[in-house]
């Protein structure tokens, strides 16, 4: 193998070696077909390139110590293989989709399918004010999201406050997420925030949080604050990935459990902030 990676001959030799081994085990009737293109080659299927740019993948198929080689995103293999009979799988937003490559001519169409899978995962939501009629769907999301859920009367009591606002994320006329926040003079404080289980890792939470971030300004409410239970790793990851930082630990914050909370903050970061 040269320093730029394996050559066509390297892969060919390796594939045939594998086939000979497999044949010895009587597992295959036919020699495997294999696919190999160098990253820069104009023959790299368009879908593979689109897939690579979509996922931020560095499109460099590198043979690992073991077959099959992998296309990597950082150190995470995104999909594997290029030999018939091998399984290609792509991981995206916590889900995995797999294909068995039976015929090498299907390689390009398989990549198209993988690309479609990625593009379809992000769903488009409309954020609007919460209304009374949303309560059953909101309660369902609340109950499946938290060990110590709010009761319906907690929502009602909270939303009666003049400075308290409820919003829902709607997709295809279904409520897929909601948030409750308070308006203060200098900040927005999120009291409750959840996305329905089946809709997670599809960008809904990010769309909701971006809606709130869009309400910040340097003159007025310049930060977004919220508490996260120390054991709620999903939420900690989510808020961290949306630019929040933990600014303090609130000891024994909850009545219902002995957990601490992290107070997390996202500051206004628009261009005008430079002038503030």
Binding site for ligand COA (CB under 6 A): 93-94, 145, 193-195, 200-206, 226, 228, 232, 234-235, 237-238, 241
Which of 101/209 has CB closer to ligand COA?
A: 209
Please report how close the Cβ of residue 175 comes to ligand COA at its closest, in angstroms. Answer: 13
Provide, rounded to whole angstroms, the least separation between the CB of residue 142 and ligand COA.
9
- Angle (CA) 217-220-223 rounded to 5° is 65
Toward ligand COA, which CB reaches closer, 115 or 226?
A: 226
SS3 assignment, position 83: strand
Handedness of CA 253, 257, 259, 265 (dihedral sign): negative
Q: Which CB sits closer to ligand COA, 94 or 214?
A: 94
**32 DSSP 8-state letter:** P
State the minimum distance, in angstroms, from the CB of residue 223 to ligand COA: 16
Q: How far apart are CA 114 and CA 95, in angstroms?
A: 12
**Residue whose CB is less far from ligand COA, 18 or 195:** 195
| 101 vs 194 by CB, closer to ligand COA | 194
88/193 with CB nearer ligand COA: 193
Task: Report the residue number whose CB is nearest to ligand COA.
Answer: 205
Contacts of 17 (CB under 8 A, 6+ apart): none
Phi, psi of 152 (to 5 degrees): -60, -40
Residues counted in the chain: 276
Name the minimum Å distance from CB 234 to ligand COA: 3
**Cβ 81 to ligand COA, closest distance in Å?**
23
* 225, β-bridge pairs: 189, 265
CB of 199 to ligand COA, least distance (A): 6
- Three-state DSSP at 61 gives strand
**Pairing, β 223-229 against β 187-195:** parallel
């Amino acid at each position: 193998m040269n320093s730029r990676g394996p050559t066509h001959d390297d892969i060919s030799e390796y594939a045939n070696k594998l086939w000979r081994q497999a044949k010895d085990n009587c597992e295959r009737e036919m020699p495997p077909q294999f696919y190999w293109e160098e990253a820069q080659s104009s023959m790299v299927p368009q879908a593979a390139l689109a897939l690579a740019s979509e996922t931020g993948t560095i499109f460099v198929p590198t043979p690992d110590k073991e077959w099959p080689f992998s296309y990597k995103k950082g150190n995470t293999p995104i999909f594997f293989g290029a030999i018939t009979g091998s399984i290609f799988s792509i991981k995206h937003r916590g889900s995995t989709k797999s294909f068995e490559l039976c015929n090498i001519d299907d390689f390009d169409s398989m990549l198209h399918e993988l690309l479609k899978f990625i593009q379809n995962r992000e769903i488009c939501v409309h954020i609007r004010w919460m209304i009374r009629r949303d309560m059953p769907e909101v309660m369902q999301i609340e109950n499946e999201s938290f060990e110590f859920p709010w009761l319906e009367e907690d929502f009602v009591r909270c939303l009666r406050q003049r400075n308290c606002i409820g919003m829902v994320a709607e997709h295809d006329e279904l409520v897929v997420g909601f948030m409750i926040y308070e308006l203060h003079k200098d900040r927005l404080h999120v009291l409750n925030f959840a996305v329905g289980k089946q809709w997670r890792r599809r960008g809904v939470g990010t769309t909701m949080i971006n809606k709130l971030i869009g309400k910040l300004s340097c003159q007025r409410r310049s930060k977004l604050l919220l508490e996260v239970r120390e054991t709620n790793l999903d939420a900690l990851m989510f808020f961290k990935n949306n630019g929040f930082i933990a600014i303090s630990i609130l000891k024994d914050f909850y009545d219902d459990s002995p957990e601490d909370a992290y107070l997390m903050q996202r500051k206004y970061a628009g261009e005008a902030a430079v002038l503030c």
